[in-house]
Amino acid sequence: MGQSQDYIDLFKFTYLNSPFNKEDSVDEPARVQEFYVDLTLPIKLGEKTAVITGATIEQLSVNTSPAGFNVSSVFSTTLKLGINRKHGKKWDGTYMFLPKIASDFNHAPKNQIQLGGLALYKYHKKPNLKYRVGLYYNTELFGPFFVPLLGVYYLSKNKKFELNLTLPVWADINYRFTEWFSAGLNFSAFVRSYNISPSSTSSGKEMYMVKASNEIYGYLQFTAKKSLIFQAKAGWSIGRRFSAYDIDEKIGWGFSAFRFNDDRTQENRDISDGFIIQGRFIYRFNLEPKNKSDELGLK
């Protein structure tokens, strides 16, 4: 057996609810809810090349008092377009173009469009072990934003223990007890920005909101027919912020957790870290044994 990531997640639907969070100087708790859809459609062109297409759609609701901005929901839609190319027996590369629209969708899209990209290289050390290195870039509303990526994937020979790291944005460790039941730990880190229209701000001026959060979960995973997967997660946010700024206030540039030439003034109250529950449904396509393991590096 010993195959490395012999599957592709074609569809993911995620619901997140964080109901009890304290907002500065406010008695009522602040609620955070998210809906997230991720669709991936790879198209194989040959033995060495595959086109990767798809899209992600997100809705974020932050139920807070009207300080700085008063918007019930913001949205983002990202198009995924790229290629995966094998560079010999050990190396392959994934190159993605990731244009995005992110805002409350209440006005013309002048400041809603963001352009991003990803380059990720994978080194296949063994059939069940590979390393990753890459770089993510996006034209966030606060300025140019870069994230270096380092990762490793390992699957035990009995295919029960799985380690999947792409730091600093993602980490997952899980153990499969039976064909249908697994348990694990998961970490994710996000930085996203959304345009906020003048009609949604207390000052009547255009602004943007930055979501920055680190989330750690324990979860149970249930699998039916090898392709239908449900994850029930419970966790906690770490260093979570929903910060509003004037649309003209920028930083020099951002590099992972660091911001350079940052003289912005936050115009809303902070929300505390809090308990999170999350449910995720996944439709997984399992590769045939004849395809070997992760033949085109699509995962």
Measured CA angle at 292 (ends 291, 298), to 5 deg? 75
Average pLDDT over residues 104-131: 88
Q: Can you tell me the distance from the alpha carbon of 250 to that of 141, in angstroms, rounded to the nearest whole number?
A: 8
Phi-psi region at 147: left, alpha or beta (left = phi > 0; alpha = psi -120 to 50): beta
pLDDT at 4: 43
pTM recorded for the entire structure: 0.88
Other C-beta atoms lying within 10 Å of the C-beta of residue 40: 18
Q: Can you tell me the distance from the alpha carbon of 19 to that of 13, in angstroms, rounded to the nearest whole number?
A: 20
pLDDT at 217 over 80: yes
By the 8 A CB rule, do 54 and 38 touch? yes
pLDDT at 289 over 70: no
CA distances from 36 to 11, 15, 205 (A): 11, 7, 28
pLDDT, tens digit (0-9, with 9 covering 90-100), for 172-183? 999 999 999 999
pLDDT at 80: 97
pLDDT at 47: 86
Of 21-30, 37-46, 65-74, which has the strongest mean pLDDT? 37-46
By the 8 A CB rule, do 190 and 177 touch? no
Place 271 in a pLDDT band, splitting at 50, 70 and 90: confident
Backbone angles phi, psi at 224, to 5 degrees: -125, 130
pLDDT, tens digit (0-9, with 9 covering 90-100), for 119-173? 999 999 998 999 999 999 999 999 999 999 999 999 999 999 999 999 999 999 9
pLDDT at 286: 78
